[in-house]
Amino acid sequence: MSTIPTSIQTRSLPLMTLQLLRRTWVLAAVTLTVACNPLDVTNPNAPDAERALTDPAAIEAIAGGTIRSFYNTYNGLEAVGPLTAQAESHTASWNNFNMNFYSSLDGDGTRNTRGWRNDPSASARTSIEHFWQGYYSTASSARDVLVAIRINNVEFDSESDTRRAEAIAELMLGASLGQIALNYDKGYFIDETVDLLTLQYFDRAALRDSAVAKLQSAAALATANAFVTPASWTNGNSYSNTQIAQLANTLAAMTLAYWPRNDTENAEVDWSAVAGFAAAGMTYDFVVVGDGCDAFCPQMQSWTNDIFGIRVHTRVANLLDPVTQADPFPDTLNTQPNSVDARLGDGSFGTVGMEEDYGTVASTVNAGSDFAWSSYEAFFPARGQYHQSNIAHIRWDESGTQDLNSIYSGYGPVPLVMRAQNDLIRAEALIRSGGSLTTAATLINNTRVTRGNLSVASAGDGAVTLKQYLDYENEIELLSQGASTFYNRRRVPNGLIAGTPREMPVPAKELGVKLEPLYTFGGTGLPNSPTPP
């Protein structure tokens, strides 16, 4: 079997030093500090904080910064990497971001029987902390903006600027609370009306509903007020108030649809509500432009679009081409594909001369738009031959050559949320709620036919077959879009290997500050908390 040249192996392991701009927000520690000290003590860590929150320019910058903070957290491999590996959507034997640890053989020879290591002394705890710190940092900043506008009545240069900052802050607050609800068993609800000294936990269902309410409020604010966001807020693209309202509706649909931890909870989703939100959702892609991870970091896409960083799990590769891509990985290799799906095609990629370094076949007229085939083993066999795959995900590599100035190193446009995601959620909601199968088929065809060049789905195929088409599109289209594939896999029967945790606990550091006992999910324990009443 072919192996990666040593020069490529050496370069691929570290890849890049990532510089995420985020505030570490350990809320309980703040609470205890304030409670134990006179309230008139000057804060030496932020001496200008109070003044900054009366400056319209500073407040506007904070509002724009919430998009960056949310984007970096949503794409952060510290949490997303293990989740997508647990879902068997991606695979890697590197232990960067704890991917190997949380997706490899455990001591008894079974797969994915490790629960989250929620202990302050465990190095793998960082995967649990990433979302908590990142989303609450975003929520905290959004709250600051709302306090300035709604309580302190700070006046901006124009009413339009005020409403724009308010709508974006409400949007990112709702989105962040929604992600906490998707990933943890419980968490804090915050907004401008909440006293941070009296915070209490809310269960994941209450957080979900509160997040959806915030997103509805953001959609209403954006609909009622004309504005355009500065291009700098996404490092390259401006969006209208109408587009922001659509994004809010899509995020509400995602929060409801992706929340279930299992198929029982999935059956209890209000799919009619999901269909309604998605019907008012995105007709465009909300794109953020990576700047090499100085500020805007498409970390997930950087690693998954590197032919040797992270590969497509053979479970998904087999869906694309069951003839050539065996699952599990064979003893030798999976040969060059000949898929009817145009997103894989014959797996050719790049230019003549790349074969030696990448094990690829130079692009032909049948090259896939999203995937490439490499004859090289990507990972060390000793770490688990089951991690191997010959299929790489190159959808966002606009260079087509693994150029170091492309997505490979964090540069270039990558959607935070795609129209296709909204279409697929809406299609599922229509199928599950007894809605129009004709509309559902059209929505599925937006990617199935337009991008995959597969046979046309129609209402005559029936709900069962349309659902099969939909499941396939979810697997292929949503790769590298945050942890979307994990959320989809955990809510279908046998979607995850036994023992895989289906949600995260409150991080150990937070529990420790509040003198609460440590707990976790997965392994031989409960995969998730009980369904909240």
For residues 188 and 41, membership in a common domain is answered with: yes
For residues 273 and 329, membership in a common domain is answered with: no
Q: What is the pLDDT of residue 45?
A: 45
In a domain, 491, yes or no: no
In whole angstroms, what is the distance from residue 25 CA to residue 410 CA? 25
For residues 193 and 98, membership in a common domain is answered with: yes
487 within 8 A of 258, measured Cβ to Cβ: yes
Query: Structural domain tally of the chain?
Result: 3
Specify the residue for token string 């700047």: 291
418 within 8 A of 283, measured Cβ to Cβ: no
In whole angstroms, what is the distance from residue 301 CA to residue 394 CA? 9
In a domain, 526, yes or no: no
Nearest to 531 by CA among 270, 264, 273: 264
Please write the tens of the pLDDT for every residue from 171-186.
999 999 999 999 999 9
For residues 173 and 260, membership in a common domain is answered with: yes
In a domain, 411, yes or no: no
Token representation of residue 20: 């995420």
> Can you give the residue range of the structural domain that contains 14?
6-298+501-513
For residues 227 and 371, membership in a common domain is answered with: no
In whole angstroms, what is the distance from residue 335 CA to residue 10 CA? 25
Largest alpha-carbon pair distance within the chain?
71
CATH number of 20's domain: 1.25.40.390
For residues 141 and 254, membership in a common domain is answered with: yes
For residues 28 and 174, membership in a common domain is answered with: yes
Query: How open is the CA angle 388-401-416, to the nearest 5 degrees?
Result: 75
Specify the residue for token string 């499941």: 471
For residues 263 and 336, membership in a common domain is answered with: no
In whole angstroms, what is the distance from residue 38 CA to residue 44 CA? 14
Q: Report the Cα–Cα distance between both ends of the chain, in Å, rounded.
A: 54
What 3-state DSSP class applies to 228?
A: strand
Which residues does 400 contact at the CB level (< 8 Å), separation at least 6? Answer: 349, 350, 351, 363, 394
In a domain, 343, yes or no: yes
Reduced to 3 DSSP states, what percent helix, strand and coil does the chain have, rounded to the nearest 5? 50, 5, 45
Token representation of residue 488: 């989809």
In terms of Cβ atoms closer than 10 Å to its own Cβ (0-12, 13-18, 19+), residue 51 is: exposed
Q: What is the pLDDT of residue 48?
A: 55
In a domain, 528, yes or no: no
In a domain, 126, yes or no: yes
Specify the residue for token string 């910058």: 61
Q: What is the pLDDT of residue 51?
A: 65
For residues 94 and 241, membership in a common domain is answered with: yes
Q: Which residues of the chain have pLDDT under 70?
A: 1-52, 107-112
Q: What is the pLDDT of residue 264?
A: 98
Write the DSSP symbol of residue 116.
P
397 within 8 A of 407, measured Cβ to Cβ: yes
* β-pair partners for 288: 414
Q: Which residues of 306-345 are buried (b: 16+ CB within 10 A; e: fewer)?
A: bbbbbbbbbbbbbbbbeebbbbebeeebbbbbebebbbbb
Q: Is the peptide bond before 47 cis (omega within 30 degrees of 0)?
A: no
In a domain, 182, yes or no: yes
For residues 223 and 330, membership in a common domain is answered with: no
For residues 441 and 336, membership in a common domain is answered with: no
Write the DSSP assignment of 82-113 as a string of letters: HHHHHTTSEE----GGGTTGGGSB-TTS-BS-
129 within 8 A of 118, measured Cβ to Cβ: no
For residues 506 and 476, membership in a common domain is answered with: no
In a domain, 490, yes or no: no
430 within 8 A of 263, measured Cβ to Cβ: no
Which residues does 10 contact at the CB level (< 8 Å), separation at least 6? Answer: none
187 within 8 A of 164, measured Cβ to Cβ: no
458 within 8 A of 452, measured Cβ to Cβ: no
In whole angstroms, what is the distance from residue 4 CA to residue 379 CA? 8
In whole angstroms, what is the distance from residue 392 CA to residue 218 CA? 38
Position 11: which residue type?
R
Domain-ending residue, one of 403, 431, 450? 403
